[in-house]
Amino acid sequence: MYNYILSIVAVFIGALLVFIFKASNQKNLKLLLAFSGAFLLAITIFDLLPEIFENNPFAKRTGVWIMIGILLQKVLEYFSKGAEHGHIHLDKETHRVPKLLFISLGLHAILEGFPMHHTDGILMGIIIHKIPVAMILTTFLLHTKIKRFIIILSLTGFALMTPLGTFLSENFTLAQNYYKEITAVVIGIFLHVSTTILFESNEGHKFNVTKLLVILAATAAAYLI
């Protein structure tokens, strides 16, 4: 049950940081994103990949599912406007919740919930990833003309999507029968999101020592969990 609660709390922590403290320092947010991306990538490599390839007679087929996940995330980002890695762009004059944005983020969140209950490392990776995403999403929604109540309601719906994915994976036979295939898709999604965060061009193509240290710290933390 704690994995359900923590994944929900992570979204509200990110939202509250923006609501209460008006957190908008782009430099710090980028470092937090870098940490989350590195942690998510490391957990995927250390935990998820060995899990689905161990004693797997259909390794190549599993690789196909990973590629499907990468391509699926590419499609989802077309609708989410890159919110997963900090590049969301919304019409500031809008009065309506961007439905395609939340559908895309919701599907992403449901899928990432499938392997969450298998290891604490994946749970931590998702939590650390959700906080900056929630901060980015909240910041941009608050700069629109959408009512605060609707913003809070939308964020609540988003927060419930990952626990929904976990619930489906734990309680539905179909999801359990295709756990490795679904997890392979999730791995592809994680690989796309994390590498986009980490390896997209820095401003001016400058070497960033601070970002490198943050990435190393996240990788070490993921290894030790």
For residue range 151-188, list pLDDT tens digits in order: 999 999 999 999 999 999 989 898 888 989 999 999 99
Domain for residue 22, yes or no? no
Domain for residue 93, yes or no? yes
pLDDT score recorded for residue 86? 62
DSSP track, 109-120: HHHHTTTTTT-H
Quote the crossing angle between the two packed helices 179-199 and 59-80, to the nearest 10°. Answer: 50
Domain for residue 203, yes or no? yes
Return the closest-CA partner of residue 152 out of 19, 5, 17, 9: 19
Burial pattern 93-130, b for ≥16 Cβ within 10 A else e, equals: eeeebbeebbebbbbbbbbbbbbbbbbebbbbbbbbbb
Domain for residue 115, yes or no? yes
pLDDT above 90 as % of the chain = 40
The residue behind tokens 């809070």 is 152
Range of the structural domain that residue 59 is part of:
2-17+27-224
Domain for residue 143, yes or no? yes
Domain for residue 217, yes or no? yes
pLDDT score recorded for residue 207? 63
Domain for residue 62, yes or no? yes
pLDDT score recorded for residue 145? 86
In this structure, the number of other CB atoms found within 10 A of the CB of residue 156 comes to: 13
CA distance 144 to 115: 34
Domain count within the chain? 1
Q: Is the pLDDT of residue 141 over 80?
A: yes
Domain for residue 159, yes or no? yes
Q: 24 versus 119: which is more confidently predicted?
A: 119
